[in-house]
Amino acid sequence: MPEDTIIKSEAAAKAANMVDYAATYDSFRWEDARREIDGLPGGHLNIAYEAIERHVAAGHGAQVALRWIAKSGERTDYTYLELSQLTNRFANVLRSHGIEKGARVYSLLGRTPDLYIAALGTLKAGCVFCPLFSAFGPEPIRARMEIGGANVLITTARLYKRKVSALRDLLPDLRHVFLSDGMAEGTDQLSPLMEAASPEFTAEPMHPEDTALLHFTSGTTGKPKGVVHVHDAVVAHHMTGRLALDLRPGNTYWCTADPGWVTGTSYGIIAPLSNRVTMIIDEAEFDVARWYDILDRESVNVWYTAPTAIRMLMKAGVEATKGHDFSSLRFMASVGEPLNPEAVIWGNDVFGMPFHDNWWQTETGGIMIANFAAMDVRPGSMGKPLPGIRAGIVEVTEDGLCEVTKPLAIGELALRPGWPSMMRGYLHENARYEKCFRDGWYLTGDLAMRDSDGYFWFVGRSNDLIKSAGHLIGPFEVESALMEHEAVAEVAVIGVPDETAGERVKAFVGLKPGYAPTEELMLELSGHARKRLGPAVAPKEIAFRKNLPKTRSGKIMRRLLRARELGLPEGDISTLESDEQ
Ligand code: ATP
Ligand code: MG
C-alpha cells in the first residue's frame, strides 16, 4: 500500500527545468520536442549527429564528452571533438569494408571507449547497432547474433577466442570481426584500420523510421525478445533525459548501467550526449568503496543507478560513506526494478536527497513514468507519467479492455502509443508484438495502481502476482515490508502451491553482514511481516539464501525461484548472473 511519507524534493528548489516542466505538461507535443534537436535536411536525422556533431558545430568541441575510468583506476578523457573524429574513423572503417547502411553491427565489449566509439560510429554510418553483454556465454551470444542476422562484430581477442571463434560456422551472415585489441585468425585488428581511416565523415541522413538499435530484453520473465528501435527515438531520449533525469549541458553525469541492456544505451550513451553532459564511464564492476570514490572525486551532478546496487550500498552501511563529499550531487535516479521505500529514505538520509524512481522497459525505449526533479517524492511510487505520455491502469476482459479509474485498484499498466522511442517490433516475432496492443493501448505486462493524486505504484509482473485465499498479493509490497528489517539485504517473494489457500507466500531472504540465518531470526522476520502486512499477506515461509538469482542487468528472477520450488524446468537462463544458495 502507498505510504503516507512524502519527501519534498530538494532538487525541485534548484530545478531550472521545473518551470518549463510545469508550463508544458498539458500542452506538450512530441512535435515540439522535435524542434529541440537539430535534425538533418529533408526531414532526416541521425542519432550520432544529435549526440556529437551538433555540439561540435556549436563550438563545444573542447568539452569532455567521456571520462573513462579503467579498472586500474586510470582516467582518460575524450572531448566532443575527439569523439567526433574517432566515430568518423570508425564509420570509415565500416565503409572501407563494404559495410553499408542497414548492416547489423554487434559489439561484445566491456565498458571501454571502443564500445562507445563503435556504437556511435555504427549509427553515424547508418548501420544498426546491437550491444551484447561481454559476460554472456557462447550460447546466448550465438542466439542473439543469429536472431539479429549479425554482419559485423567488434570484440576483443580474448572474448573472441573464448566465446565466438567456435561459432563462426553457425553464423553465415557474419562477414567481419574487428578486434579492439590482440589478434586472432579470421579477424581484423581495429587499431591500424582506425589510424589509417580518415577523421572526416558525414553522418548518414536517416529517415526517422529507419532502424537504429536492436536491444534484447533482460529475460526476467522468459526468453529474451529482440526489440527494434529507430533513429526518431533520439527525440524521446533527449527530452526524457532532460525532464526525468534533469540533465543540463555541462553537467557531470554517471549512469551505472552497461550498454548491454537498454538503460546503458538510451541513458548511458544517447540522452546524456544529446544533452551535452560529461559522461563518466566506469569499466569495473560494482564495488562500494570505488563507487563512493567516483561520486566524490568526479563531482558527479546526476547519478542514474538501479535498486540492486542501491541495496548493496545499504548493505555496506553508512560507515562506508564516511569521509566522502557528495555536495556536487544534485539528482539521483533509479530504474530497472521496484525501488523499496526503505531505499528511497536511506538515500535521503545519506545524500540529502531521495532516489527518484522511474519506470520503463526495453520496449518503451525511454523513461515513461518518473519522479521528476520538480515533484515531491512518495517513497515506493514510480512517480507520474512524463509529459507526452498517457498511462492507464486497465483490465482485460473477454469484451475488451477497460480503463480502471478507481484509485488504488490493481490492473495492468498500459500506455497510449505514440512517443518516438516506442519499439517498432519484436524481431521475427510479429504475433508476440501484435499481442501487446489492444483497443489503442500498449500492454506492458506489469501490474500497477494509481492513487488519487495520479502517482503510479508498481505491484509486480503480471506473472508474479500471488493469489492466496482470495487475496491478490503483489510481491513488491511483501518484499518492501521485509526490507525494512535491519537484518535484510535483499528479498524475493513468490507464490507456491498450497492445498487450502491455492497459493501461499514464500520469501527468499539474503542477510546483511553480521546476521546469521537462524531459526530465531526467521521467526522474528515472520513476526515483523505479520505486524506490517497482516497474516493473510505476510509470508508463510521464509528461506535464507546467500544471494538471489538475478539477471545480468540486476533483476531478481522470481520465475526461477518458482520453477525450482515446483520442480519445473528452469527455462531460458541465458541472462542469469549471481545465484548462490
Ligand atoms: P523480459 O521482458 O525479457 O522478461 P525484462 O522485462 O526484465 O525482461 P527490461 O525491458 O530490461 O526486461 O525490463 C523492464 C521491466 O523492468 C519492466 O517491465 C518492469 O517490470 C521492470 N521495471 C523497470 N523499472 C521499474 C521500476 N522503476 N519499478 C518497477 N519495475 C520496474
Ligand atoms: Mg519485459
Q: Are residues 488 and 403 in the same domain?
A: no
In a domain, 2, yes or no: no
Closest protein CA for atom 13 of ligand 1: 361
CATH number of the domain that 492 lies in? 3.30.300.30
Give which of 89, 91, 34, 86 is closest to 61, Cα–Cα. 86
Q: Which residues contact 348 (CB under 8 A, 6 or more apart)?
A: 7, 354
Considering just the CA atoms, what is the radius of gyration of the chain in Å? 23
Q: How far apart are CA 361 and CA 265, in angstroms?
A: 13
In a domain, 132, yes or no: yes
User: How many A from CA of 90 to the centre of ligand 2?
Assistant: 33
Q: How far apart are CA 77 and CA 63, in angstroms?
A: 10
CATH number of the domain that 410 lies in? 3.40.50.12780
Q: How far apart are CA 570 and CA 575, in angstroms?
A: 12
- Report the Cα 111 to chain-centroid distance in Å: 15
Burial 231-253 (b: 16+ CB within 10 A, else e): bbbbbbbbbbbbbbbbbbeebbb
**Which of 147, 217, 340 has most ligand 1 atoms within 8 Å of CB, for mutation?**
217
Q: What is the pLDDT of residue 375?
A: 85
User: How many A from CA of 558 to the centre of ligand 2?
Assistant: 13
Q: What is the pLDDT of residue 333?
A: 98
Secondary structure of residue 291 in the 3-state scheme: helix
Residue 260 Cβ contacting ligand 1 at under 6 Å: no
Whole-prediction pTM value? 0.94
CB 268 within 8 A of CB 116: no
In a domain, 459, yes or no: no
In a domain, 359, yes or no: yes
Q: What is the pLDDT of residue 221?
A: 86
Angstrom distances, CA of residue 547 to CA of 342, 344, 399, 487 = 19, 22, 44, 14
State the Cα angle at 382 between 381 and 385, rounded to 5°. 125
In a domain, 554, yes or no: yes
Q: Give the dihedral of Cα atoms 140, 141, 147, 148; nearest 10 deg.
A: 140
Residue 479 Cβ contacting ligand 1 at under 6 Å: no
Chosen domain end from 424, 450, 476: 450
Q: What is the pLDDT of residue 373?
A: 85
User: How many A from CA of 336 to the centre of ligand 1?
Assistant: 5
Q: Are residues 423 and 476 in the same domain?
A: no
Q: Are residues 183 and 225 in the same domain?
A: yes
Chosen domain end from 425, 450, 475: 450
Q: Which residues contact 179 (CB under 8 A, 6 or more apart)?
A: 154, 155, 156, 157, 160, 187, 188, 189, 190
Chosen domain end from 450, 481, 510: 450
Please list the alpha-helical segments (H only) found in 151-232.
Answer: 157-159, 190-196
Closest ligand by atom to 220 CA: 1
Closest ligand by atom to 368 CA: 1
Closest protein CA for atom 2 of ligand 1: 217
Q: Which residues contact 62 (CB under 8 A, 6 or more apart)?
A: 79, 80, 81
Q: Domain range holding 233?
A: 10-450
CB 242 within 8 A of CB 19: no
State the Cα angle at 376 between 371 and 378, rounded to 5°. 70
Q: How far apart are CA 318 and CA 573, in angstroms?
A: 34
Q: What is the pLDDT of residue 162?
A: 96
- Report the Cα 532 to chain-centroid distance in Å: 31
Q: What is the pLDDT of residue 17?
A: 52
In a domain, 500, yes or no: yes
0.85 surpassed by complex ipTM: yes
Residue found under cell 565503409: 95
Query: What region, left, alpha or beta, does residue 300 occupy, with left being phi > 0 and alpha being psi -120 to 50 degrees?
Result: beta
Q: How far apart are CA 435 and CA 495, in angstroms?
A: 26
Count of the separate structural domains present in the chain: 2
Q: Are residues 388 and 474 in the same domain?
A: no
Q: Are residues 515 and 544 in the same domain?
A: yes
Copy the grid coordinates of residue 555.
533483476
Q: Are residues 518 and 430 in the same domain?
A: no
In a domain, 1, yes or no: no
Residue 359 Cβ contacting ligand 1 at under 6 Å: yes
Give which of 34, 29, 60, 31 is closest to 45, Cα–Cα. 34
In a domain, 488, yes or no: yes
Sign of the dihedral defined by the CA atoms of residues 356, 361, 364, 366, in that order: positive
Closest ligand by atom to 266 CA: 1
Q: Are residues 293 and 340 in the same domain?
A: yes
Q: What is the pLDDT of residue 23?
A: 63
Residue 218 Cβ contacting ligand 1 at under 6 Å: yes
Q: What is the pLDDT of residue 374?
A: 81
Q: How far apart are CA 304 and CA 126, in angstroms?
A: 29
Q: What is the pLDDT of residue 83?
A: 98
Q: Are residues 446 and 470 in the same domain?
A: no
| Residue spans of the chain under pLDDT 70 | 1-4, 9-24, 581
Q: Are residues 357 and 476 in the same domain?
A: no
